[in-house]
Each structure stands twice: as C-alpha cells, then as structure tokens.
C-alpha cells in the first residue's frame, strides 16, 4: 500500500513537471513572437545613441539598420575602417540618421587601447542601447590541439567573444544607472545550450556571454535597465558560412527585425520563432542524445572542410 502511494505520488510529480515544461515551451514559442506587444524602445533606451559592435556584416549590421530605421543615431565599431565607411554611407542614405564609426581590433586585450580608442568616445555620448555582437569562430570544427591558427587563434576567439561584452557593459552601465534606463543586448549563441565538441572554445565563450548576462539581469533587477541575452542558431552570415536562407536558416535582416521585437519581453531568447523551435527541442532532449547528434554534425562539417582544403591545395599545386 505504501509502495503504491509512493508510485502514485511520483507519477503526479512527473506529470506536474511535464505540464510545467510544456507550458514553458509553448510560452517561449508563442508569446514573444505572436502575442506580445513590442515595447517603446525609445522610452526604454532613454537616449538617442545605439552602439553596435561587429557592425559591418551579418547580425551586427542588421541590428544597426533596424535601430537606425527606428530613429536611433548609431555608433558602429568594427575592425575595418573601409567597411565601416561603407555601412555608414548606407545608413545615412537609407535611414537619414547620424552615424559615427570607431575602427578597433577587438582581438586586442589591452584595457589601455579600449580606453584610448573606444571608451573615451562612448563616455561623451548618451548611450541608450548597447549591442554586444562582435564575435569570431573557427574556419571549421576541430579538436583544440589541432585548431586552425593554433594558440593565437584560440586566444583571439576567447578574447573577442568575452572581453568586449564585459568591458563595454561595465563602461556604459554607469550612465544607464544614473538615468535609470537603457538597453544592453548581448549576442550569445545556441551553442551555449549544449557542450559542442570540436568547437570547444567558441561554445564555452558563448556560454560565458549567456551566464554573464544572466548575472547582470539579477544585479540590475531593481533598475529599469533591460539586459537581454540573444542566442541564435545559424543565420545566413559570412561567419556561419550559410549562404541560402530557408525556414530554419533565416537572413540576418529578418533575424534582427524579429529579435528587436522581443526587447523588454524576453530576458533570453533565440531571437526568432524558427530558432526558438529548434532550441526548445534541444533543451527537451537528454544530453546523451543531443551531444552525440551535434558531434556527428560537427564531424561532418569538418570532413567537408578538410576535403575542400585538399581540393584547393591540389588545384594550386
């Protein structure tokens, strides 16, 4: 009798857990993308300037255009001044907003260089939105001791993916705290949701971004500052090497438009419905299923990349 009661109790607990999990999945999928009313981003930002790092390509550039279309003056920060100039002219022509640029190599780990080149300018302006987007990965998946580019590339990926989000957030938060408003958007990756073999440093660095954002949300919970983590799946960008859009592989433009609609609604999101659907499936499965599956995908990408390198070497020899 006691055993039977215990089993019944455990059954009810399991059922309650499954119902809560189902409710969470449905909420994450439906509410932010189909039901929620977007907030007044200008009011939430409290200032006219939007800073976007890694803003000459892909998601960063798309965020810059979406925010400019909403009337925000933009500060573009990337490594190449020529690319910055090209995007600046596009923004001015298409959106008619004030645009400033800062050429900076985020592989620099020097705080002095940050202060001299980036932070000194940002502190002079009222920053309403900070989009920490800059990030780098590897040419193809590989175990850490065979990573293309060696130790220097490993260091670059680690530094670029973690240091800018840390320093820029710390530098701009004081003025947001003083105003009691502002928006920080930290672009992480869906690779943060599961240990991704053959991309260990990249996956771990994106986990840092997600964890860092989650902690900031708690530290500044008593303010009106919005701190959002965005964890996209693959988008058609140069870094992802996905060239053709589909239902799951959305364009950077469509992604940014969707993601901006979730500001102030979701503390953490993948940014768009197709990506959220994939992530909810991944999060619902046990790690012993997800990790081997993702590992096989990584190995397949590596195999194709190495085969391509061999063909290119033969063609040039």
**Which residues are 129's β-sheet partners?**
50, 183
> Among the options 31, 63, 202, 293, which is catalytic?
202
Is 27 marked active-site? no
The catalytic residues are 202
């Amino acid at each position: 009798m006691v055993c039977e009661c215990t089993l019944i109790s455990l059954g009810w607990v399991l059922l309650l857990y499954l119902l809560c999990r189902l409710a969470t999945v449905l909420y994450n999928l439906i509410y932010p993308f189909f039901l929620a009313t977007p907030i007044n981003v200008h009011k939430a930002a409290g200032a006219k300037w939007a800073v976007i790092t890694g803003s000459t390509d892909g998601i960063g550039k798309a965020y810059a255009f979406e925010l400019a279309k909403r009337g925000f003056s933009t500060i573009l920060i990337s490594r190449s001044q020529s690319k910055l100039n090209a995007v600046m002219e596009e923004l001015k022509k298409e959106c008619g907003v004030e645009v400033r640029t800062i050429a900076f190599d985020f592989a620099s780990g020097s705080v002095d260089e940050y202060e001299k080149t980036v932070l000194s300018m940002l502190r002079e302006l009222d920053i309403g939105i900070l989009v920490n987007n800059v990030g780098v990965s590897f040419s193809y998946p590989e175990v850490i001791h065979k990573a293309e580019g060696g130790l220097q590339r490993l260091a670059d990926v680690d530094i670029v993916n973690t240091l800018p989000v840390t320093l820029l957030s710390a530098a701009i938060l004081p003025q947001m705290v003083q105003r009691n408003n502002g928006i920080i958007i930290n672009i992480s990756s869906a690779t943060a949701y599961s240990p991704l073999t053959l991309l260990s440093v990249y996956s771990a660095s994106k986990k840092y971004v997600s964890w860092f954002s989650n902690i900031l949300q708690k530290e500044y919970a008593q303010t009106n500052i919005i701190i959002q983590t965005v964890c996209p799946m693959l988008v058609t960008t140069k870094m992802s090497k996905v060239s053709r859009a589909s239902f799951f592989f959305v364009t950077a433009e469509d992604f940014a438009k969707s993601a901006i609609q979730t500001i102030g609604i979701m503390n953490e999101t993948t940014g768009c419905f197709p990506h959220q659907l994939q992530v909810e499936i991944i999060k619902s499965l046990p790690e012993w299923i997800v990790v081997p599956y993702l590992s096989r995908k990584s190995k397949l990408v590596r195999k194709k990349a190495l085969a391509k390198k061999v063909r290119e070497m033969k063609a040039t020899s």
